[in-house]
Amino acid sequence: MKKKDKVLIFDTTLRDGEQAPGASMNENEKLEVALALEKLGVDIIEAGFPVSSEGDFNSVKNVARHVKKSMICGLARSIKKDIDAAYNAVKIAKSGRIHVFLATSKIHLEHKLRKNQDEILQMAVDAVKYARKKIDDIEFSPEDASRSEKEFLYRIIEAVIKAGATTVNIPDTVGYSTPAEYGQLIADIKNNVPNINKAIISVHCHDDLGLAVANSLSAVYSGARQVECTINGIGERAGNASMEEIVMAIKTRNDFFGCSTNIKTQEICKASRLVSKLTGFVVPPNKAIVGANAFRHESGIHQDGVLKERTTYEIMQPEDVGFVGTGLVLGKHSGRHAFQSRLKSLSIEIKDKDLDKAFDRFKSVADKKKQVYDEDLIAIVEDELKMVKRTWDLADLETTSGTDVTPNVKVVLKSKNKKYEAVSSGDGPVDACYKAIDKVTKMKGELLDYAIHSVTRGKDALGEVTIKLKMKDKKVIAHGTSTDIIVASAKAYINAVNKILA
């Protein structure tokens, strides 16, 4: 068994993960994710690419101001203005890092940068030296390392470590490598870079061939001691290595890897749901670790085996990753104390001033549902306690529709204790509902995406609607829940409008 030591988890959900088409988050949402990552025990949070926009700069700075336990990192090209922006964004952090990158593969040198190897090496050294004058912790990434010439890779890694890099990251930028090949690359770097013991070897893998997690784990086995990954594996194209899969593989197969992480695994499912909610990227039910079916058994043989001895078909315990089951916990006769106690057991912290609002919503749902599950409680709290300032609230909704009837919807919205109503027809009740809301708010939105899924099982299950809306040149993602899918749809749309106005 390999030496027992720590593997640092470098989470890039807020940078590389957010680059996934449609996954952008606003400043408050990024902070919410960052705080969840801190609670999860992430060692380094790559909070963004500060030079890319004023909004990204402010988001990184905001994260750096509020997060105290995790190191905060800003990405920068090997250009002084990028490094300056990254430093100015993270310098307020209790612990900060600048992550400098520069492409090193032949295809990038010839077609993108149009420079030779010696010029690239000098640019990398100059960038690291410049960054090191500003901050002590510097990471350098030779972009597209897995397709770079090995001898040049050894040269540039040795040079940047000598210039002051404390971490060298070996990216499989386009997900081209295979586990055996990538693991060998890490071993070769360890054996051919004379000063490699002065830096931590990091890895950053993309999932274009579905091998990001396998490649990352192969690198860990070969001696890499930092893994760059994202919650739910989100990211550009096919995404990044999935943090939860890497962490649980290292924990579950400690006998093989002989190392561990600082991740509090019981927080994994909570962080997964948060990122899914804010990005609108639904987690597939068969997703490892955090999918709805990850710990469910339908086969009679499997059920019988698990009942007799859990380890026959389960290599992890659901509670180890914070997996919420579907056991009945509360009903319409349950009181406020029981409600509050159950939320606490689900690690949901709620302020006293908000408890009444959430409890009233729970009682309303409980009157409609015979069974109220943990997932229902989580959805209720998430739906009711929005961080966004609410300009509009749904007061009432009436629908008329049928096979041969033109759908007609009356919507009553409330704003500043005044009620406003509008009636509209449309191509289906949801379309009619949204047109009525547009009439009241005098804001016309373009619906880019609409999805609905059941929070729990049963005909009376809560439906959660997720929409992506474009309005006033802004795109937002919003959610709404109800046992009535038209009401859930209306809530999601109103929440989107409130986000735009905020």
Residue 315 domain-assigned (yes or no): no
Could you give the 3-state DSSP secondary structure of residue 224?
A: coil
Q: Where residue 424 falls among pLDDT bands split at 50, 70, 90?
A: very high
Q: Residue 84: enclosing H or E segment and its boundaries? A: helix 80-90
Q: Which residues, 6+ apart, have CB-to-CB distance to 91 below 8 Å?
A: 64, 134, 135
Residue 42 domain-assigned (yes or no): yes
Q: What tens digit of pLDDT does each residue of 372-416 get?
A: 777 777 777 766 665 557 889 999 999 998 888 899 999 999 998
CATH of residue 412's domain is: 3.30.160.270
> Which 8-state DSSP code applies to residue 310?
G
Q: What tens digit of pLDDT does each residue of 308-317 get?
A: 666 776 788 8
Residue 161 domain-assigned (yes or no): yes
Residues 234 and 115 both lie in one domain: yes
Tell me which residue range forms the domain holding 408: 393-501
Residues 352 and 403 both lie in one domain: no
Predicted TM-score (pTM) of the model is 0.80
Residues 273 and 197 both lie in one domain: yes
Q: Where residue 277 falls among pLDDT bands split at 50, 70, 90?
A: confident
Residues 355 and 409 both lie in one domain: no
For helices 352-368 and 336-345, what crossing angle results, to 10°? 100
Burial class (CB in 10 A: 0-12, 13-18, 19+), 300: exposed
Could you give the 3-state DSSP secondary structure of residue 7?
A: coil
Indicate the pairing of strand 418-425 with strand 405-415.
antiparallel
Residues 218 and 252 both lie in one domain: yes
Q: Count up the domains in the chain and report the number.
A: 3
Q: What tens digit of pLDDT does each residue of 16-61 get?
A: 998 887 787 889 999 999 999 999 999 999 999 999 999 999 999 9
pLDDT at 302 (0 to 100): 54
Residues 413 and 453 both lie in one domain: yes
Residue 53 domain-assigned (yes or no): yes
Residues 223 and 82 both lie in one domain: yes
Residues 338 and 480 both lie in one domain: no
Residues 378 and 427 both lie in one domain: no
Residues 415 and 490 both lie in one domain: yes
Residue 300 domain-assigned (yes or no): no
Residues 348 and 397 both lie in one domain: no
Residues 38 and 118 both lie in one domain: yes
Residue 250 domain-assigned (yes or no): yes
Give the count of beta carbons closer than 10 Å to the beta carbon of residue 123.
18
Q: Are 238 and 210 in contact (CB under 8 A)?
A: yes
Q: Is residue 325's pLDDT more than 60? A: no
Amino acid identity, position 150:
K
CA distance 139 to 75: 9
Residue 262 domain-assigned (yes or no): yes
CA distances from 337 to 237, 333, 368 (A): 46, 12, 21
Residue 317 domain-assigned (yes or no): no
What DSSP string runs through 380-422? Answer: HHHHHS-SS--S-EEEEEEEEEETTEEEEEEEEEEETTEEEEE
Using the 3D structure, point to which of 351, 384, 417 is the last residue of a domain: 384
CATH of residue 187's domain is: 3.20.20.70
